[in-house]
Structures are given as structure tokens and as C-alpha cells.
Amino acid sequence: MPRTIDLPVSLCTQENFAPFGQVLQLPDGQSQHRWSTTKTWSADFAIDGKMELMYARVEPIPNHFSKMERHFSVTQTFIPLGDAAAVTIFAAPTGDDNDTPPEPANFRALLVPGNMAIMMYRGVWHSGRFLVKPEPAEFIILTDEHTTTELQAVPNLGRGRLSHIVHYDKSHDITFCLTDPAGLLRTA
């Protein structure tokens, strides 16, 4: 039977998300463009292939997991709709040519509030989303069309050309469980 490692949940902030990507929010300083009553700032979104904008409905799942994945060709972006707060587990990239997954000690379980969009750097390891509320939630996802195709073709991929998936229960005899010692999930 796999051993279980508890991961405490922390609130996602610009500072603690910085090793994994960018929190998308209006930056300080001058806008890059202005039209009449509109100001705009650019984000560092990057993609090698064709961008795919997806609407996703996520079903609630128990707060335990064993799968982590990463994508090499896109700075994958998640934009919650309707105040969809969720916990996602992140770990820094381990190198494009490195098949070694991150050590569990390097995982960070972050509660991403429903009014916060995030953009992950290429190669950042991440879990699925664990919803705070017990009903389905919706997100807009900006990703790479070829990454989606590869994941659908081989759902338990292992190492593909565009993605890498690790099932810790099979490869390391470990599962993970989210814990909430600070009571963040009750207030989200």
C-alpha cells in the first residue's frame, strides 16, 4: 500500500507563485498601450505551436492525488470563472531533458482564489485542480493545441514530446493528501 504524504495548503500570492509562473493581475506602472478609455499591459505568454483557448468544467474530487504533469511547449494559463477557487500543487521544472520528477519535499499546495488567474512557466510540474466548493467550477485554459492532442491520445503518457506525466503511486509508492492547518479552505 502506498505511503501518504500530507501537503499543507498555503494561499497563492505573487511572491510564493513566482518560482512557478506569474499571477496575472494589473501591474504597477505605465500601461503599454492606451486606446480612448482602455489601458493594456502584456503578459509573458509563450507558445511553440498553435494556441488553444478551452472552456473547462472541473468536477470536485477528493483532496488526495498521485499524478503530476508538466508541459514543454506552452506557458499554460488558467483563468477562473464565477469565483472558482481551487488548490493546485506545483513544483519547479526539473529540466527539459531530465526524466527525474521533482522530490515531494519541493511540492507546494497553493489555494488560488477565484478572482486570480495564473500562468505557469514551461516545464512547471502541476496537479489537477482541487475545488474549494463542492460543486463543479469553470475555467478558461490557454494552452497548446498539440499538447492537448498528445494528452488525449495517451492519457497515461509518461514522457511524451510535449508533456511528462508521473504517477507517484506507481513509480514511488507514494500518494499525497491536502491538509489545511490554517483553515484557508473554510474561508475561500
Q: What is the pLDDT of residues 80-138, one digit of tens each?
A: 999 999 999 999 998 766 678 999 999 999 999 999 999 999 999 999 999 999 999 99
Class of 3-24+44-187 in CATH: mainly beta
Question: b or e along 85-108 (b: 16 or more beta carbons within 10 Å of the residue's beta carbon)?
Answer: bbbbbbbebbeeeeeebbeeeebb
**Which amino acid is present at 163?**
S
Note the pTM of the prediction, 2 decimals.
0.89
Mean pLDDT value of segment 6-17: 96
